[in-house]
């Protein structure tokens, strides 16, 4: 194994992926496994398909059902990971939802649902993982899923709850990076732009048509184009990178 291969290798690492049943979570889970990690996948409904895909490629993975908005559920899942794998080195804190609604039409219940999943859910998972890493002396890496929506306001759709939740994730990331730096735990966030996933299939055509002229590359990104960023943040190659928000958006926010 060459120098570069070693720098980005995750061999011997245990990685947790939340929301890994489909879309970005599924593709990143496959990427982490190909880089050598044993992958534990958390989702509300299970992620057997992702596990099967990883195993077909010769990787090692398993799936656990858990709700990231429930502290008890997350603690139980992480306890099971420790029982099965004995450690936890990497977290890709990915589970999230989005509701496109005008602020005057969206209900307070919908606001709370988005904030509870995207921000509180990531906080619950990061805190539970951080506690394990600190207790075991693991110099781990936590990668929180943010979005370019935490930096800019998307148009023409209105999604105030989503934008606020992702801005919160970015600052949560910075806060934890400072708090846990003495333990050698790195905390960063990933901010994708528009990514073509199963979720985007349900996006109305008029929205996609409105987005296209605003994208410098004139296309949406693919989940596979996020793998390199995640592996960099997960691996020893980013040993001095913490508190950063890595934007992968085809230069959208530069405009």
Domain of residue 128 covers 3-249
pLDDT at 201: 65
pLDDT at 197: 86
The reply to whether 117 falls in a domain is yes
Please tell me the total count of domains within the chain.
1
Helix axes 160-180, 121-136, angle to 10 degrees: 10
The reply to whether 255 falls in a domain is no
The reply to whether 80 falls in a domain is yes
Mean pLDDT, contiguous 10-residue spans, the chain (255 residues): 78 97 95 98 92 97 96 98 98 95 97 98 98 98 98 96 98 98 98 86 82 93 97 97 98 95
Task: Say which of 13, 101, 149, 162 is annotated catalytic.
Answer: 162
Neighbours of 49 (CB within 10 A): 14
* pTM attached to this predicted model: 0.96
Annotation marks residue 85 as catalytic:
no
The reply to whether 187 falls in a domain is yes
How far is the C-alpha of 166 from the C-alpha of 145, rounded, in Å?
A: 8
The reply to whether 254 falls in a domain is no
**CATH number of the domain to which 74 belongs:** 3.40.50.720
Task: Say which of 85, 141, 147, 238 is annotated catalytic.
Answer: 147
* CA 217 to chain CA centroid, nearest Å: 23
The reply to whether 192 falls in a domain is yes
Annotation marks residue 84 as catalytic:
no
The reply to whether 164 falls in a domain is yes
pLDDT at 236: 93
Annotation marks residue 147 as catalytic:
yes
């Amino acid at each position: 194994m060459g120098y570069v291969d070693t720098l980005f290798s995750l061999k011997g690492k245990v990685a947790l992926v939340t929301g890994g049943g489909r879309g970005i979570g599924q593709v990143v889970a496959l990427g982490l496994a190909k880089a050598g990690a044993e992958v534990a996948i958390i989702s509300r409904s299970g992620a057997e398909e992702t596990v099967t895909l990883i195993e077909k490629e010769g990787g090692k993975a398993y799936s656990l059902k858990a709700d990231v908005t429930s502290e008890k559920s997350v603690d139980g899942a992480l306890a099971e990971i420790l029982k099965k794998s004995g450690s936890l080195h990497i977290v890709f804190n990915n589970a999230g939802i989005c509701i496109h609604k005008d602020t005057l039409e969206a209900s307070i219940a919908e606001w709370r649902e988005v904030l509870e999943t995207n921000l509180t859910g990531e906080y619950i998972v990061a805190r539970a993982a951080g506690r394990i890493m600190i207790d075991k002396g693991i110099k781990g890496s936590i990668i929180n899923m943010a979005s370019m929506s935490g930096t800019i306001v998307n148009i023409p759709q209105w999604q105030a709850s989503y934008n606020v939740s992702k801005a919160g994730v970015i600052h949560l990331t910075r806060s934890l990076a400072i708090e846990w730096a003495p333990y050698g735990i790195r905390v960063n966030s990933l901010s994708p732009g528009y990514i073509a996933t199963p979720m985007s299939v349900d996006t109305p055509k008029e929205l996609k048509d409105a987005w296209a002229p605003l994208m410098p590359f004139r296309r949406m990104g693919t989940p596979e184009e996020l793998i390199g960023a995640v592996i960099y943040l997960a691996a020893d190659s980013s040993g001095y990178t913490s508190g950063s928000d890595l934007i992968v958006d085809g230069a959208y926010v530069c405009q």
